[in-house]
Structures are given as C-alpha cells and as structure tokens.
Amino acid sequence: MAGGPRLLSDLRGQRYGEVFLAFLDGAPRIDVYNSFPLNDCPPDLWRGLDTKLIAKECGATAAVLNGPRHWMMDGIGKIDPVEPVLRDFGGIEMRRVATFDVDGRFHQEFYVERHVNRGAIWYFDAGKPVHELVAPKGRTYVLQAYCVGVDQSLTQSNLSELGERLSLPVGWTFRTRVLEEELVVDTTAQVATVLQDELQNTYTLVR
C-alpha cells in the first residue's frame, strides 16, 4: 500500500483538542500535545483550561490552546519520531505528537508555513471531498482539520463555503473537489509543512 499501512481509520469528523507548549529559552521550540485518540476533548473541561497555569506547571514560557478541532483525513499511518510524553491538562489527557522550531518568539501567523516534525502519514479516501488552498505557482495545501474554537458554526457540510469567508493572500485560491483516487500525504521521511487560515483551520502541504 502506498505510504505504508493504516494504523487508524474512520477519522473524518472526529473531535480533538491540542495544547501548544512554548519553550523559548535555549533552543526555542513548540511541543504539540493532542487529545486524540485518548479522548474527544470534553467541552466542559476544555472551557476550564487556564493557559497561564498550564505554562507554569509545565515550566513553559507560554501555553496556547488549539481547538477544539475535527479531523478531515480518513486514516493515519504513523512512525513517531517524537519521544512519547503524556500530560494531563485540567483533566484532559494528551500525548505529545510533534515539535517545531521557532525563532525565539511565538505568535500566530496566517497563511505562513511552519515546519513540524510529526512523522505522520495522512490518508484521504477516494470518493471523499477535500478542501484545498492553492498558492501561486500551484503549491497546494489540503485541509487536515477544521477548528470550531473561533467559529462554532463550522461543520463538514459548510466547509465548501470557506472560500467566500477567508481573506486569502493575493493570488491564492480555495477549492473543494472530490477525490478520484486516494490521496496520501507522507511525512515520515521529512518534516511536514503546515499553515493555518484566520479561522485556525489547519492545512498540510501536498505538493
């Protein structure tokens, strides 16, 4: 099978949350903690998270909440290069799934590439819709997860309307298409390239 075996299937639509821990002393980095598949990021617990308390307890410079979110890929194959670490954030158990380097400061930027060491394979099934950002010269990013933390009205059924809502950079376009064949995004041998739009939906580079 292209890209290796699937370890998890039927992911599309499943809910999760993430906590970013920023360590900006020495070699600056961000550790990404994800609740999937340990739990579905219970809303009451998520709303009670205190980022200042989390950062203090973890010895981090800052903590940032990322989500809640819903997967848009259909399967995952994983070769995890990150030493597994489990943490409990306000009753929500999460596992460290990735790290990425930063330039000594941590701030949100939209439509800006970040390079993430996650060692993952994403599978998007034939016959399923995908939503993509296309940059000038054809550089294409597929939606891997949509966020309901900024706009709670987002659902799978209205994602095709995102192009009417996003303030895309000049020359960029948004499109929705149905896959004629399986799409595999394999970043087990290289860092993944990801970006977010202003609604904090996350996309991964296909090509």
For the stretch 100-141, pLDDT in tens is: 877 655 667 899 998 888 888 999 999 999 999 999 989 999
Q: Is residue 119 one of the residues assigned to a domain?
A: yes
Cα distances (Å, whole numbers) of residue 174 to 30, 57, 61, 125, 148: 28, 40, 35, 20, 19
pLDDT averages per 10-residue partition of the chain, 207 residues: 74 96 87 94 97 96 94 86 86 92 72 88 96 95 96 95 95 97 92 94 94
- Give the pLDDT confidence score for residue 65 in this predicted structure: 95
Candidates 91, 93, 102; CA nearest to 31 is 102
Q: Is residue 141 one of the residues assigned to a domain?
A: yes
Q: Is residue 16 one of the residues assigned to a domain?
A: yes
**Number of structural domains, the chain?**
1
- Give the pLDDT confidence score for residue 120 in this predicted structure: 87
| Alpha carbon distance 191, 189 (integer Å) | 7
- Give the pLDDT confidence score for residue 79 in this predicted structure: 66
Q: Is residue 79 one of the residues assigned to a domain?
A: yes
- Give the pLDDT confidence score for residue 174 in this predicted structure: 98
- The residue with tokens 């009670």 is 48
pTM: 0.91
Domain holding 151, by residue range, is 8-205
Q: Is residue 161 one of the residues assigned to a domain?
A: yes
Q: Is residue 3 one of the residues assigned to a domain?
A: no
3-class DSSP assignment, residue 98:
strand
Residue 165: burial class (beta carbons within 10 Å; 0-12, 13-18, 19+): middle
- Give the pLDDT confidence score for residue 1 in this predicted structure: 41
Q: Is residue 196 one of the residues assigned to a domain?
A: yes
Q: Is residue 2 one of the residues assigned to a domain?
A: no
- Of how many residues is the chain composed? 207
Region of 178 please: left (phi>0), alpha (psi -120 to 50) or beta. beta
Burial 8-20 (b: 16+ CB within 10 A, else e): beebbeebbbbbb
